[in-house]
Amino acid sequence: RVDLNDYTIIILPGGSYDDLGKQGIEKFTNWVKNGGNLIAYKNANAWVSENLKLDIQFKANVKIETEGIPNFASRREDANIQAVSGAIFEVNFDPSHPLAYGLQGNTLPVFKSGSSVAELPKNNYNSPFRYSDSPLKSGYCSVENVERIKNAPFILTNRLGRGVVISILD
């Protein structure tokens, strides 16, 4: 019901947008292609990637290797290996990129919660903000998840027609 042409930027916070249906997806896609700027945050990126057909692939979650019957007493440890409950990580960025305008230096501390981690896109210029190769700075994160997170994108950009989708992944 909303005329998207009244807007130049739309932000989709984390959540599901399945209620938009096929017509809503087509409306969003056309709006971006005609010059709209869409910012997707956290898990809204999975919806955007699938429905706007963007180059965003996600890494598989950490798998717990068990043989036979899993040990019930170690279930909390296993959950901690898979989860990222909240920690401070270091992100490197390209200071010449427009999204870095006004930032000093080329690193940034960020708070990450959730285990979703994206793959690097085919086009390297589409990931101007990436976790460093030694990303964990404060808090707890399993060794397995630190390995998944290191050098992964923190922000992705995707051109779609004359518009752009900016994906803030964490």
Note the pLDDT of residue 74: 65
Q: How far apart are CA 82 and CA 139, in angstroms?
A: 15
Using 50, 70 and 90 to split pLDDT, how confident is the model at 62? confident
Note the pLDDT of residue 126: 93
Judge whether residue 38 has pLDDT over 90. Answer: yes
Judge whether residue 61 has pLDDT over 90. Answer: no
Q: Which residue has the higher pLDDT, 116 or 153?
A: 153
Mean pLDDT, range 47-75, rounded to an integer: 79
**Tell me: the pLDDT tens digits for 90-104?**
999 999 999 999 999
Residue (of 149, 168, 164) closest to 61 by Cα position: 149
Mean pLDDT, range 163-170, rounded to an integer: 95
Judge whether residue 68 has pLDDT over 80. Answer: no
Q: Which residue has the higher pLDDT, 103 or 85?
A: 103
Mean pLDDT, range 46-60, rounded to an integer: 89
User: Is 147 strand, coil or helix?
Assistant: helix
> Does the reported pTM lie above 0.95?
no
